């Protein structure tokens, strides 16, 4: 499934033979990340090393409480022993239906120590029916949760659940002499299973191994400046893959995790390192975060304006990669004023821009990005058919290596940087013409005062766009779009709003925006055309 960090055999010439000779070397050089060896093969072993180095250092803060690395490790060991008594074994998948809290950290770490994989869901916001579907897929019937969330659980969980906060309250945090390390897990064992929305209406569980995760968290630039004495924000939903970057990345590097409450801006103001989606970051101002040293965004396209704004304040990284390639498989440090890209592959990873037949595109041509290397995950839980459909043998690395179809469009720039050009499924037909919605949004973002734009297809003849903030010059946004794109790409309706609505995972809620657009369309029908354009 993965390549060794030291495996630097040349790309197969058979897969590159159709390219001009001068491009073959560049295709490999640009498409292959550096070789690096993570310091640990299992992420919890890296955390245990931090316990040994600085046991009294603060591991996390939440709701006025603090827990040291030693206390966290002792409690996780005590819970791990209890999980084994309850029948949890190495290789199991265990539900972690929680909300942000210190008990969440203890539960997560304890599962890893057993050699099992945690399966995170935010029980406050995920419907019980979806929780039940996730639970049906798991090998362990035990559900780790919190006492205030018991009423949110599906009925199937009521007979076999453990409230983490109640368990931890049974003993003082430093009373147990059980600070020994567990060593059940191996680098190829699963670390967590992340459920994404499936096209069939049923969630798909992506199986992420310790090898996959350590390759991101324990190499540069994935370390993101996390280190002892630095605060890392925990602002993302536990069910979002980037939350593992915040949580486990922080603890593996000996930093302090600041677990946010309702006001995440209050937490961000104290952070040295922040990982977010562009939509979440757009609600903050750099001056609110005076101590911030490093910021990384991923999960959705980032605007040039947002990147420039934050890159002038701190180190700013723009990344890309679906859950199936382990959080991100490209990262790029952006310089203010430079063209925004997603950079090159992270260590031990590869990215290929391929045409519709799966052949390497000529450099500079637009194609679909496929991801290979150490970040490629082990496929979908209990779904070999879907795994076979989306994971394919890697013709460039050869052997038993696999690559994953990201469904992201991209192209190489003249200096070997990847430009993200939207999603394959963001290509729509309007008036019979093919339109890339992300390309329209980028054109709108060049308008005066526009920080970010989203473009949606309203019907077969109509595009609608939303721009932020409300003070953005809508006329100039439209003008920029008209100057850069064909007439059929220009949205019929452009709405300026102060903030975009966000999903629970911190991404723009496009479904809600589309609902709002349809309501505005009804109102627009009663207005003269010149007034209706900007309702």
Mean local confidence (pLDDT), 414-439: 84
Residue 256 lies in a domain: no
pLDDT 10s digits, 69-99: 999 999 999 999 999 999 999 999 999 999 9
Percentage of residues of the chain with pLDDT beyond 70: 92
Q: What is the CATH number of the domain that holds 374?
A: 2.30.38.10
Give 524: exposed, middle or buried? Use CB within 10 Å, 0-12, 13-18, 19+: middle
Give Cα 92 distance to the centre of its chain: 24
Same domain, 104 and 180: yes
The two beta strands, 330-333 and 315-320, are: antiparallel
Same domain, 76 and 173: yes
Domain that holds residue 496: 431-532
Residue 493 lies in a domain: yes
Same domain, 436 and 355: no
pLDDT 10s digits, 128-160: 888 998 999 999 999 999 999 999 998 888 889
Overall number of domains in the chain = 3
Mean local confidence (pLDDT), 390-403: 94
Same domain, 438 and 508: yes
Same domain, 115 and 133: yes
pLDDT score for 168 = 93
pLDDT 10s digits, 327-341: 999 999 999 999 999
pLDDT 10s digits, 465-491: 999 999 999 999 999 999 888 788 899
pLDDT score for 179 = 54
Residue 237 lies in a domain: no
The residue that leads in pLDDT, 524 or 225, is 225
pLDDT score for 210 = 98
Helices (H), ranges, 345-436 = 384-390
pLDDT score for 1 = 39
Residue 171 banded pLDDT, cuts 50, 70, 90:
low
Mean local confidence (pLDDT), 20-26: 90
pLDDT at residue 201 greater than cutoff 50: no
Residue 340 lies in a domain: no
276-to-284, 296, 467 alpha-carbon distances in Å: 11, 6, 20
Residue 486 lies in a domain: yes
pLDDT at residue 26 greater than cutoff 60: yes
Final residue of a domain: which of 158, 185, 212? Answer: 185
Residue 105 lies in a domain: yes
> How many other C-beta atoms lie within 10 A of the C-beta of residue 316?
26
pLDDT score for 200 = 41
Same domain, 435 and 417: no
Mean local confidence (pLDDT), 209-220: 98
Annotate 66-96 with b (16+ C-beta within 10 A) or e (fewer).
Answer: ebbbbbbbbbbbbbbbebbeeebeebbbbbb
Torsions phi, psi for 373 (to 5 deg): 95, -160
pLDDT 10s digits, 424-434: 877 787 876 77
Residue 111 banded pLDDT, cuts 50, 70, 90:
very high
Same domain, 375 and 480: no
Residue 298 lies in a domain: no
pLDDT score for 46 = 97
Final residue of a domain: which of 185, 207, 241? Answer: 185
Q: What is the CATH number of the domain that holds 508?
A: 3.30.300.30
Percentage of residues of the chain with pLDDT beyond 90: 75
């Amino acid at each position: 499934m993965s390549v060794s960090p030291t495996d630097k055999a040349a790309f197969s010439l058979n897969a590159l033979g159709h390219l001009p000779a001068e491009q073959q070397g560049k295709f490999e050089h640009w498409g292959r990340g550096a070789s690096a060896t993570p310091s640990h093969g299992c992420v919890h072993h890296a955390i245990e090393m931090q316990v040994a180095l600085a046991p009294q250092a603060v591991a996390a803060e939440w709701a006025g409480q603090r827990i040291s690395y030693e206390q966290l490790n002792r409690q996780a060991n005590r819970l791990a022993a209890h999980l084994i008594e309850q029948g949890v074994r190495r290789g199991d998948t265990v539900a972690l239906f929680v909300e942000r809290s210190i008990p969440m950290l203890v539960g997560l770490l304890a599962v890893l120590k057993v050699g099992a994989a945690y399966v995170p869901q935010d029980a406050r916001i995920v419907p019980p029916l979806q929780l039940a579907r996730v639970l049906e897929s798991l090998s362990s019937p035990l559900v780790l949760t919190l006492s205030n969330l018991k009423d949110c659980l599906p009925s199937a969980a009521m007979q076999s659940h453990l409230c983490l906060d109640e368990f931890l309250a049974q003993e003082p945090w430093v009373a147990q002499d059980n600070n020994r390390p567990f060593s059940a897990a191996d680098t190829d064992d699963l670390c967590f299973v992340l459920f994404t929305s499936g096209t069939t209406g049923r969630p798909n569980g992506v199986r992420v191994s310790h090898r996959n995760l350590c390759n991101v968290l324990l190499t540069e630039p994935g370390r993101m400046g996390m280190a002892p004495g630095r605060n890392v924000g925990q602002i993302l939903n536990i069910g979002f893959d980037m939350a593992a970057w915040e949580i486990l990345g922080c603890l593996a590097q000996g930093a302090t995790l600041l677990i946010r409450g309702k006001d995440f801006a209050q937490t961000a103001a104290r952070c040295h390192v922040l990982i977010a989606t562009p939509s979440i970051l757009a609600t903050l101002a750099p001056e609110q975060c005076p101590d911030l040293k490093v910021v990384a965004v991923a999960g959705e396209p980032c605007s040039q304006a947002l990147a420039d704004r934050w890159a002038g304040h701190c180190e700013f990284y723009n990344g890309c990669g679906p859950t199936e390639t382990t959080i991100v498989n490209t990262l790029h440090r952006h310089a203010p004023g430079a063209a925004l890209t997603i950079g090159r592959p992270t260590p031990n990873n590869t990215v290929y821009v391929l045409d519709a037949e799966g052949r390497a595109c000529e450099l500079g041509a637009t194609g679909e990005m496929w991801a290979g290397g150490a970040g490629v995950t082990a496929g979908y839980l209990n779904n070999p058919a879907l795994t076979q459909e989306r994971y394919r043998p890697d013709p460039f690395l050869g052997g038993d290596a696999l690559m994953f179809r990201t469904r992201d469009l991209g192209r190489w720039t003249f200096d070997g940087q990847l430009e993200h050009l939207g999603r394959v499924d963001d290509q729509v037909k309007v008036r019979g013409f093919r339109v890339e919605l992300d390309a329209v949004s980028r054109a709108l973002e060049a308008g005066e005062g526009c920080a970010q734009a989203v473009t949606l297809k309203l019907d077969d003849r109509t595009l609608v766009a939303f721009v932020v903030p409300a003070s953005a010059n809508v006329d100039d946004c439209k003008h920029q779009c008209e100057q850069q794109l064909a007439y059929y790409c220009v949205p019929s309706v452009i709405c300026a709003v102060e903030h975009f609505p966000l999903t629970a995972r911190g991404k723009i809620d496009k479904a809600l925006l589309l609902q709002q657009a349809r309501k505005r369309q009804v109102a627009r029908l009663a207005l003269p055309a010149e007034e209706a354009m900007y309702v």
